[in-house]
Amino acid sequence: MLKNEERAHHLVMVGSTGSLAFALLLWVQQSDACTAYLAGKAATADGSVMVSHSDDGGGASDPRLARIPAADYPAGSLRPIWPDLEDYPRFVGTARGPTYAPILGQSDTKPIGFIPQVAHTHAYFESNYAIANECHLMFGESTASAVFIAGIARGLPGGEALFSVNELTRVAAERTCSAREAITLMGSLAEQYGYYGADGGAGEVLMVADREEGFVFHILADPAGKSAIWVAQRVPDDHVTVVANMFTIREVAMFTILAAAPTLHQPHPAQPA
């Protein structure tokens, strides 16, 4: 892990010589907007792929940086899916390591559902979203407006969607090592179990990168509120891209092959009327 003690009050950095993930915390105090950057390996001085995220949420946003340890699970285990909580405390309990152990009479956070667990999960760092895992998979986030706002979390009146973008990044950090694997997993989970957005149904943008390449990932709820619409586009190695609370992908090659495609997407995306 790289450390920069002189700027620790502004910037938390996690990464290696070949990859670097930034969690920009409290950089702009008077802002409720998140901005994310991604730089390809040919656009940086040392050949690193870089991702950043200014987490400028409103309210009493939880500023803690937590390390979630790797773990092994017996066959048949279930993975709890936690609600989208960003104000302090974002989580209470021991299921995500010692950072969130209850204090001062806090009650454990209750899951809103479950999915099948895998045999082994990777260690990773998180704030309100996953930041980087032990494979050097990295994330940055920015909320965006969306055409459809139908997704409602399970446990709320009329709610049928299980995943927020926060939990999608965490499950991807636990289970994958490449940006392509992470995007495919997040998209398939959101399609299968449903996606709901923050702020009454907003869409979300993620920067998703590994040591070799990076993607911009867009997601929003489908019109029925039971699935998701998503797309991802590769950032060329010699490019830098910025997302500031809006979708930026403008053209999609709808039937490219996922294994080598610069654009990834669900096989049969919902079409706006």
pLDDT band for 265, please (50, 70, 90 cuts).
low
| DSSP code per residue over 112-126 | SEEEEPPSEE--EEE
Mean pLDDT of the chain: 83
User: What is d(CA 203, CA 62) in angstroms, rounded to the nearest whole number?
Assistant: 21
**253 class by beta-carbon count within 10 Å (0-12 exposed, 13-18 middle, 19+ buried):** exposed
pLDDT at 207 over 50: yes
- What tokens appear for 48 in the block? 């690193």
Q: How far apart are CA 123 and CA 239, in angstroms?
A: 29
Q: Per-residue pLDDT tens for 51-88?
A: 998 877 667 889 899 999 999 999 999 999 999 988 99
Structure tokens at 80: 């709890």
Rounded distance between C-alpha atoms, residue 135 and residue 62, angstroms: 25
User: Hey, which residues does 130 pair with through a beta bridge?
Assistant: 126
Does residue 213 contact residue 49 with C-beta atoms inside 8 Å?
yes
Confidence (pLDDT) at 267? 52
Q: How far apart are CA 172 and CA 174, in angstroms?
A: 5
What average pLDDT score do residues 252-266 get? 56
pLDDT per residue as tens digits for the range 174-192: 999 999 999 999 999 999 9
Amino acid at position 265, single letter: H
Residues 6+ apart with CB under 8 A from 51: 20, 21, 22, 36, 37, 38, 138, 139, 140, 207, 208, 209, 214
pLDDT per position as a tens digit, 128-171: 999 999 999 999 999 998 887 778 899 888 899 999 999 999 99
d(CA 208, CA 131): 10
pLDDT band at 1 (very low <50, low <70, confident <90, very high): very low
